[in-house]
Amino acid sequence: MSEVTSSAAALVGLPSQRETRSRIHRLHFVIQQASRNVLGVVVAVAFVGPVVVPMAGWLRFSAWAGLTLGGLGLRAILLRPVTKIEVLEKDADRWARLFFGSTLVCGLIGASGPLLFFPSLSAVEQMFLTMIFCCWVTAFMTSAGVYTRFYTGYVFIFIVQLILAWLTTDNPHVVAITVMLAIYGAIISRFSLSFAKQVVAGVEIRFQNEELIHELDAARRTAEAANHAKSRLLAVASHDLRQPLHALTILSGLLRRYATSEKVGEVAQQIVRSVDSLERLFSSLLDLSRLDVGAMQPELRPVSLRAIVDQLSVEFRPRAGAKGLRFEASGCEAMIVTDPMLLERILRNLIDNAIKYTERGRVELACEQRSDALVVRVADTGPGIRPEDREAIFKEFYQASGGKHRETGLGLGLAIVKRLTGLLEYTIETESEVGVGTAFRLVIPRRFISAGASESGTEPREGTGVALEGFCIVYVDDDVQVHAAMSLLFREWGCEAVIASTLAQAQTQLRERGIRPEAVLSDYSLTGNATGFAVIEALRQEYGALPAAIITGETGPRAREKLQGSEYPVLLKPVQPDELRRLLEVFRSVG
C-alpha cells in the first residue's frame, strides 16, 4: 500500500522537503474528505433500502447496511487521531496504509450489495441499484481521486461486483451492460488521473506560494536588519570619526591665530570653514542615523514658545538682512511641553532653508491658533516647490534645485525635520506655489500645550521634581491644631512623617515604628521651656547629622535675637507649602 502513497508523490518528481509536506497535506485532505463522504454512503444506503427490503427482506438488507456503515464507523474511529496533521506527520506511511486498507475493505463490503440483492430484484430495480452504485463510486473520486492507482482499484472492486451481479441474471442485455460498465469504470479511472494532477498541482502551488512568502519575509527582515546595522554602525563610528574632526577644528583655529602672513591667514580661514561644514555634515548624518535607530529620545519640559521664536529671530534676522531679505517674526504667548532643543532644530532647519532658497522678498516666522492645535508657520517668497516634489523634499539627499546649493548643504535638513516632527508627534504641512513662495506649517497638537500658561516668558526652573516619596521627617510642634494640616501635607507628598508635640513623644514614636528619621522640623518654643534647638540636637545625637529647620510663629525681638545666628533655616508660621516642599527637597538631596 505504501507504493500507492508514493505514487501520487511520484507525479512531481523526486521527494523534497516541500514534496513531503505537500504529500502529507494531500493525505490529510483525502482522509478528511473521506470521512465527510460517509454521509454520501448513508444517503446511498437509504436509497437502496426501500428498493430491496420488500423483495430481499429486512435481514439481508440490515446485514449489508450494518456491515457497510459499521465498517466505515470503525474506520472513522481508527483514523480519528489524524484529524491533527501533526499526528499524520509523525508516521505518514502507517496512517496511509491504514486508511487505504480500511477503505478498500469497506468498499468491498459496500459493493457486495448488487451480488447480494440482484437475485430478488426485477430488472428495473437492478438498473436502479446499478445507477446508485455508479454514483457512489463516482462521488468517491472527490476524496480518493487524488491517488489514481488506489482509486482505480476501488473502482475495479465496484465494477467487477456489479458485472458479476449482472452475470447472475438472465437479462438479455447482460453483455452490453457488462461492456458499458467496464467502459464506465475505465473512463472514471482515467478521469481521476487528470483530477489527481490538478489537485497535486494546486497543492504544490499553495506550498510554493507559502515558501515564496517565507523567503520574501526573510529577505525583507534581512534588509531591515542590514539597514538598522548600517545606521548603528554609522552612529557608533561617527563618534570616533568626529574626534579627529574636533581636533582639526581646534588646530585649524590655532593655525589662523598663529598665521604670520595674510596669505597663510586666508588659507587657514578657508580650512576653518571647510572643517566647519564637514562638522555640520557629520552631525546631520549622525542625527539622521540616531533618529533612524531610535537612539534619540525627546526630553520634554514646559517652555515658552515666544522665547523660542524670539531667540530664533535674533539668530536669523542678521542672516536674512545680509541677503537683502526682510525677516518677520511674531510669537504666541503659549507654554508648550516639548524638547526645546529638538523643536529649535526643526524650526532652525526650516528657516535656514527658507533663507537659503529665497532671493528677494521676506521670510516669516509666525504662530497660528487652531481649535485643536498650535501651528508654527515658516513662510518665504522663494521659488516655490513643484507639486511633484512635495513628497520628495523630505527624503534625504534630495534637493529640488538640482544641486545649485550643494555647497551649503547635503539636502539632509528636511529629512531631519521630518523625522524630528515624527519623534515629537507633530505633523508638518506644506503649502507652496511655484514662483510665489512656500509655507511649512508645524502642527503641534493641543495635548502638548501646557495648561499653566503662567509666568509668561519665564522658564520654569529645571528639576523642581526632587521626589519626596518615602522621605522620613520628624515634625515637633506643641500646637496640636497644626498637626492635622501638616500630616495631610506630608501624606500628599508621600513623606513618612512622625508628628509629635514633644521630643519624648517623637522619640517614642520613632522607636515604636522602627524608623530612622532623615530630617527634622521643629517649632522653636515648646512646652516646658524646651526649644527646637534641643529637639534637633537630641535627634542628631541619636540618629547622626540630620538636616534640620526651625519653624516659629514668634516674631518678637527676643526670639528673633535667639534665632539670628542659627545654623538652621528658620521658617515663619504659617508655613507656606511651596516653601516647605522646596526646603524638604533641599534636605533630601543634601542627605
Partner 1 sequence: MAKLLICDDHPPIRTAVTYVAREINRDIKIIEAGDASEALAMMEQNQDVDLILLDLYMPGMSGLDLLSDLKQKFPATPVVVLSSDETRAAVVDALQRGATGYICKSSSTDLLAKFLEHALNGRVALPTAVVYGPGAESPGDAYSPTGARGSSPDIGLTPRQIDVLGCLLRGMSTKQICRELGLSEGTVKSHTVAIFRALNVTSRAQVVIEASRRGVTIGGRQI
Residues that bind partner 1 (CB under 8 A): 239-240, 242-244, 246-254, 256-257, 279, 283, 299, 303, 307-308, 310-311, 315, 340-341, 343-344, 459, 461-464, 466, 540, 544-549, 567-569, 582-583, 585-587, 589-591
What is the amino acid identity at position 310?
D
Helix (H, G, I), strand (E, B) or coil at 128: helix
Using the minimum distance from each CB to partner 1, give the nearer residue, 257 or 558. Answer: 257
Q: How far is the CB of 421 from partner 1 (least distance, A)?
A: 17
Using the minimum distance from each CB to partner 1, give the nearer residue, 89 or 344. Answer: 344
Closest CA to 363 of 390, 323, 331: 323
Using the minimum distance from each CB to partner 1, give the nearer residue, 73 or 244. Answer: 244
Using the minimum distance from each CB to partner 1, give the nearer residue, 243 or 527. Answer: 243
Using the minimum distance from each CB to partner 1, give the nearer residue, 159 or 546. Answer: 546
- Dihedral sign of CA atoms 173, 177, 178, 180 in order: positive
Cα atoms in the Cβ-side hemisphere of radius 13 Å centred on 374: 20
Q: How far is the CB of 431 from partner 1 (least distance, A)?
A: 27
Q: How far is the CB of 461 from partner 1 (least distance, A)?
A: 8
Using the minimum distance from each CB to partner 1, give the nearer residue, 72 or 550. Answer: 550
Q: How far is the CB of 547 from partner 1 (least distance, A)?
A: 5
Buried b (16+ CB within 10 A) or exposed e, 334-358: bbbebbbebbbbbbbbbbbbbbbbb
**Distance separating alpha carbons of residues 364 and 299, to the nearest angstrom:** 28
Using the minimum distance from each CB to partner 1, give the nearer residue, 105 or 571. Answer: 571
291 touches 420 (CB < 8 A)? yes
Using the minimum distance from each CB to partner 1, give the nearer residue, 340 or 384. Answer: 340
**Distance separating alpha carbons of residues 509 and 360, to the nearest angstrom:** 78
Using the minimum distance from each CB to partner 1, give the nearer residue, 312 or 414. Answer: 312
**Distance separating alpha carbons of residues 559 and 555, to the nearest angstrom:** 7
Helix (H, G, I), strand (E, B) or coil at 522: strand
Q: How far is the CB of 589 from partner 1 (least distance, A)?
A: 5
533 touches 499 (CB < 8 A)? no
Q: How far is the CB of 318 from partner 1 (least distance, A)?
A: 13
Cα atoms in the Cβ-side hemisphere of radius 13 Å centred on 254: 6
Q: How far is the CB of 415 from partner 1 (least distance, A)?
A: 20
Q: How far is the CB of 501 from partner 1 (least distance, A)?
A: 24
Q: How far is the CB of 261 from partner 1 (least distance, A)?
A: 19
What is the amino acid identity at position 259?
A
**Distance separating alpha carbons of residues 134 and 185, to the nearest angstrom:** 9
- Dihedral sign of CA atoms 200, 201, 204, 206 in order: negative
Q: How far is the CB of 583 from partner 1 (least distance, A)?
A: 7
Using the minimum distance from each CB to partner 1, give the nearer residue, 114 or 331. Answer: 331
Q: How far is the CB of 442 from partner 1 (least distance, A)?
A: 16
User: What is the 3 state secondary structure string of 338-386?
Assistant: ECHHHHHHHHHHHHHHHHHHCCCCEEEEEEEECCCEEEEEEEECCCCCC
Using the minimum distance from each CB to partner 1, give the nearer residue, 47 or 282. Answer: 282
Length of the chain measured in residues: 591
Q: And the C-alpha cell for 430?
A: 506644506
Buried b (16+ CB within 10 A) or exposed e, 449-487: bbeeeeeeeeeeeeeeeeebeebbbbbbbbeeebbeebe
